[in-house]
Structures are given as C-alpha cells and as structure tokens.
Amino acid sequence: MTIAERVTNLIFIDGIVDEKQKKLIDLIVNLTQEKLMALLPKEIKEIPKELEFIVVEIAVKRYNRIGSEGMTSETVEGHSINFSTSDFDEYADFIDKFIEELDEDFKNKKVVRFL
C-alpha cells in the first residue's frame, strides 16, 4: 500500500474519494516527503521505510487543517485550536535516531582501495 493510499484510508473511512481529493492528497504527500527529505542527509535518496509513518501522520494532519493553515491559536465558545510551528517537531527524536544509526552504520563500514 502506498503512502497516499494509507493517508486516504485514514481520512476517508467510508472509502469514497473523488479525483480532486486524490490529487490534493497526492500533493500533500509529495510536499511532506520533500520536507522530510530536506531534513535527512543528502545520501538518502528516498524516504526510508522506517520513517514513512511520519509522512502518513503529517499528511493526515495537513489535510485536516486545510483552510486553517498557519493558525497558531483560535478559541470559539471554549473550543481552542493551536498548531505547532513545525509539523516535524514531534518527530524530531525519530529522525535524529535514524540519522544517528545511519552515521554509525557508515562509520562501521570498512573500505578497501586498490592502488
């Protein structure tokens, strides 16, 4: 199952999705992937399987915020809404751990050179 399909399943429990919604979900997923890639080392060329959940969760949140982008606080009849400054803040530990493990794997590789 693709990331976009996972996001769609989480958003639309009844499974009814039109083409506009599919395009919007694809766009949100692509933008979220691009932002995550910008946080990872340059040698990573695609979203690692172990970090895909971050794209799924952030894409669902971004879809649910459509029309309220950038809101930092709103209170209506006792109901309060706040958005964090970065969608990735709550996933920083996962990203940092992945990068640390990647660095360790890189350090442990031995290189043989022939002259």
Q: Is residue 76 part of a domain?
A: no
Q: Is residue 78 part of a domain?
A: no
The position carrying tokens 């976009």 is 4
Q: Is residue 114 part of a domain?
A: no
Domain of 41 in residue numbering reads as: 3-71+83-108
Q: Is residue 113 part of a domain?
A: no
Q: Is residue 59 part of a domain?
A: yes
pLDDT of residue 16: 77
Domain count, the chain: 1
From residue 14, alpha-carbon distances to 4, 9, 11, 56 in Å are 16, 8, 9, 18
Q: Is residue 12 part of a domain?
A: yes
CA angle 50, 55, 56 (to 5 degrees): 95
pLDDT of residue 28: 95
- Residue 47 tokens read as 């979203």
99 near 40, Cβ under 8 Å? yes
Residue 59: which of 85, 86, 87, 28 has the closest Cα? 28
pLDDT of residue 66: 83
- Position 42, amino acid: K
Q: Is residue 77 part of a domain?
A: no
Q: Is residue 26 part of a domain?
A: yes
- Residue 38 tokens read as 């910008």
Bridge partner list, 80: 75
Per-residue pLDDT of the chain (115 residues; tens, 9 = 90+): 899 999 999 998 776 788 999 999 999 999 999 999 999 999 899 999 999 999 999 999 999 888 766 555 566 667 666 655 688 989 999 999 999 988 776 655 555 556 5
